[in-house]
Amino acid sequence: MKLIKDYILGFISRSGNYVFGATILARLFSFIASWVALKLIPNNELGVVLFAYNIIIFLLPIAGFGLHQSLIRYGALLKSEKDKNSLFIYVFYKGILASITIIGLVIFTCFFIDFKFEDTYFYLIILSFIIIPSFIFEILRAQLRIQYNNKSFAYTEFAHSIILLISVFTLSYFFKEIGYAIALLITPLLTSILFFNKLKIDFSHKIKLPIINVSFWRYGFFASLSNVVTQLLFVIDILLIGYLMEDTEMITNYRYISLIPFSLLFLPRVFMATDFVSFTEKIHNKKYVVNYIKSYTLFFLGISTIMLFISFIFCDSILAILDKEFIEFKDTFLILMIGIVGIYILRGLFGNLLSSIGKAHINYYIASIALVLNIVANYYLIPKYGIKGAAITTAILMWFTGVLSLICFWKLYKTNLKFVKQ
């Protein structure tokens, strides 16, 4: 109990409670913003914007070629504020240039794709420019974390969702679907402007840092690719259910049954966002790392036990909140909940620990292996068991990637410690 108590107190001391609260409120306001858009914009026009936006969402992790990922990891290892600020300046300028390159590639590629909806070209071009403000927003948030200002980091999440809600309501009301697209574009820009002064960056003062090399760029690129592939893992089930079952109703059933389990994944992300800089700074202190792993595992083992108990006892009631017809698919829901535990106690922790020792490319390899296995397994299990087959595949892979992350981390961590001692 002492380990769990100390872990929670440590989380709170790093303003983790602010990050947790802001994340909950941000999700609520984002949901309301989506609902507002649905009410103010005709479905057909909104669908085209959302189709284009979902394409851009897959590209956002590689904005700036992933330099925001490099900033948070390498910035955490730097000792002086001057070095951290110099790293931010480098990432800021190089990342914007990289983002402009990506936007150019998106616009160029658009002309060679035959989209079903004519306006898709128009909205893809407009929404592609989100890549720049989104990148700036992410490096701003990374820098706040490096500066141990998790409270302001939490406020950026909250402010972003409020600005999104206000801009979506105002611009969608007056300009319909075009207004909605503009709202998506300006939200990260306005939020970044609002918080940028908190960084107190002196752009005239730059130091050439030895850590900026090929490994620095490689780390960010693979960390971002890992996020893209991980997103695909959650989407591929829906695509394969539609392709293999040819039943749009089953797509809807799986989408809503998986809504609660997948939504619960925010919890380990909140803890990792709060603690990543802290344990990366001390990553070569084996005693600290082992103690953190024990504390984290005990805490999330307790959370997982409670979560599963509630899910099994109140399964019917939980699904009835969405729709009583979903109760017949409770096995699918429970299988996914069991899978989520694998993320809670293994993948969420050891995936981030791999990143903290500079092995983000391992996360990419693990996610890529899981993606291939997902497709192969679903081709067998979905025709045989329906959406339950998709849930079985997902749950197994959640545990598989977690165990693989654990094995890879300890093997590479021991090697890394030997290298540091030498």
DSSP state for residue 258 in the 8-state scheme: T
Backbone angles phi, psi at 112, to 5 degrees: -110, 5
DSSP state for residue 117 in the 8-state scheme: S
Provide the CA 366 distance to its chain's centre, in angstroms.
16
Q: Where are the beta strands (DSSP E) in 130-289?
A: none
Query: pLDDT tens digits for the chain (422 residues)?
Result: 778 888 888 899 989 999 999 999 998 898 899 889 888 988 778 888 888 887 888 889 999 999 999 999 999 999 888 899 999 999 999 999 999 999 999 999 988 887 776 788 888 999 999 999 999 999 999 999 999 999 999 999 999 999 999 999 999 999 988 999 999 999 999 999 999 999 988 888 778 888 999 999 999 999 999 988 888 887 888 878 877 887 767 877 888 888 889 889 999 999 999 999 998 999 889 999 999 999 999 999 999 999 999 999 999 998 888 778 888 989 999 999 999 999 999 999 999 999 999 999 999 999 999 999 999 999 999 999 999 999 999 999 999 999 999 999 999 998 766 544 43
pLDDT digits (tens, 9 = 90+) for 6-63: 888 889 998 999 999 999 999 889 889 988 988 898 877 888 888 888 788 888 999 9
Considering the entire predicted model, what is its pTM? 0.89
Where would I find the H helices in 15-149? 16-40, 43-59, 67-77, 81-110, 120-128, 131-146
Residue of 337, 350, 205, 196 whose CA lies nearest to 263? 337
| Structure token digits, residue 163 | 């600005």
